[in-house]
Amino acid sequence: MNDTSLTDNIMTPRERRATWGLGAVFSLRMLGMFMVLPVLTTYGMALQGASESLIGLAIGIYGLMQALFQVPFGLLSDRVGRKPLIVIGLLMFVLGSVIAALSTSIWGIILGRALQGAGAISAAVMALLSDLTREQNRTKAMAFIGISFGVTFAIAMVLGPIVAHAWGLQSLFWCMALLASLGIVITLTLIPNAASHALNRESAIVRGSIRQVLGNSRLVKLNIGIMCLHILLMSSFVALPRVLEQAGLPAESHWKVYLYTMLVSFVCVLPFIIYAEVKRQMKRVFVGCIIVLFAAEVVLWMAGSQFWPIVAGVQLFFLAFNIMEALLPSLISKEAPAGYKGTAMGVYSTTQFIGVAIGGSMGGALFQFHGAAWVFAAGALLCALWLIVGVSMKEPPYLSSLRIALPDDALSDAALAQKIRIHPGVAEAIVVPEERSAYVKIDRQKTNRQQLEALIGQA
């Protein structure tokens, strides 16, 4: 794309189309995926052959398939193109949704969920967003995707019980098929075509670099964190819908609890995020969230069939969960070495879906053989173990990642990386001549993109 002004921070119409379009595709797919979470345990038990363990497997197998295909799909998009791979992934999601919608057996639901998960398009979506936006606007575009994820999760938790009560569980899967089909239409008609597929290490997985990311102990602790968070989410939602029913709230009214707790948590999230980022207290907020999650699991464990203690536990859970969902990607960005942010995020997403797989399967087995109290007790134990890891973490470096395109004359400067490194506010810098790029980690309180571009221009 033509970039006439590297210092122009206003999105072009093309960039806005790409951001809104890809955000819509991502959200429509996530909406369908999350709508089933609060209802499968209750409505799914009417399916032929259903049990709590198999319901948990149906929830978790989506994450297992995502974990298996996330990185391969991201690498494959470099060869076959971003949009074709996104369309293929969405078609797999549609096929899985139709199979689940037509099935009256839990095994059909499990097969459908597996096919849904196999269409792992997240990495391709982020790579295409990188192709279609300029460096100075990419952070805003990716932040929009992140915000859309949180909003979509909240809408799905409320909408799922309403749709399932009105038209049945199969209607949810027909909705998923329709939403994914709409995503295909948006991909083919609204989202612009990328003129080229330049490798951007800020958003794409770099071949051969996964081992380096896995060997970074600070990143490993964050990956353990996102895995634990989604184990807690999935295992809790295997048991929670049935617990609410036992407390006297019919399944068709569960959305009221989710709506109330989500609204309260969203209002409370922003001050904590500002405190963590502006006051540079991310570790304190991070550890505090683990403690709140521990408290939530203990409250749910001890609540039994008492309605208001259950609501209190759900409220504590969503408060900490939503803060963590915002904090963890930011922490990954801060801790990732220069030039490896995309790979670090790819590994992060994979461990997130491993957590989904473990949480669904573990929660279902515990619920079937020992009851809901054991699910929440196991969650509390997991939080206690996670807290040990969290306390051992170091305060992250408050750094931002940048990719700066290099002009031809700068590529011939063998000392360019060193010149960038000694600039005030620069913590790391690598130059990759074959990508015509410099990858830099900076403290935004001391320097910015414009200063570094000026430095490179002078060099």
Residue-wise pLDDT tens digits, 250-263? 988 999 999 999 99
Percentage of the chain beyond pLDDT 70 is 97
Compute the chain's Rg from CA coordinates: 22
Pinpoint the residues of the chain covered by CATH 1.20.1250.20.
10-204, 206-396
Q: Please state which architecture CATH assigns to domain 10-204.
A: Up-down Bundle (1.20)
pLDDT at position 5 over 50: no
Mean pLDDT calculated for residue range 168-197: 90
What tens digit of pLDDT does each residue of 193-241 get? 877 666 678 777 777 788 888 999 999 999 999 999 999 999 998 999 9
Tally of CB atoms within 10 A around 251: 18
What tens digit of pLDDT does each residue of 257-294 get? 999 999 999 888 889 999 998 899 999 999 999 999 99
What tens digit of pLDDT does each residue of 333-352 get? 899 998 888 889 889 999 99
C-alpha closest to that of 401 among 349, 445, 441: 441
Mean pLDDT calculated for residue range 75-87: 84
Q: What is the pLDDT of residue 7?
A: 45
Mean pLDDT calculated for residue range 399-420: 84
C-alpha closest to that of 300 among 62, 394, 292: 292
Q: Could you give the CA distance from residue 116 to residue 293 in angstroms, rounded to a whole number?
A: 29
Tell me the pLDDT band of 353, cut-offs 50, 70 and 90: very high
- List Cβ neighbours of 374 (8 Å cut-off, separation of 6 or more): 366, 367
Q: What is the pLDDT of residue 417?
A: 87
Q: Please state which architecture CATH assigns to domain 400-458.
A: 2-Layer Sandwich (3.30)
pLDDT at position 1 over 50: no
What tens digit of pLDDT does each residue of 17-50 get? 999 999 889 888 888 778 898 999 889 999 999 9
The pair phi, psi for residue 158, each rounded to 5°, is: -85, -40
Pinpoint the residues of the chain covered by CATH 3.30.70.100.
400-458
For the chain, give the mean pLDDT: 89
Which residue would you say has higher pLDDT here, 31 or 364?
364
Q: What is the pLDDT of residue 94?
A: 95
Tell me the pLDDT band of 4, cut-offs 50, 70 and 90: very low
Mean pLDDT calculated for residue range 187-196: 85
Superfamily of chain region 206-396? MFS general substrate transporter like domains (1.20.1250.20)
Answer for the pair 387, 283: CB distance below 8 angstroms, yes or no.
no
b or e along 77-97 (b: 16 or more beta carbons within 10 Å of the residue's beta carbon)?
Answer: bbeebbbebbbbbbebbbbbb
Mean pLDDT calculated for residue range 113-120: 91
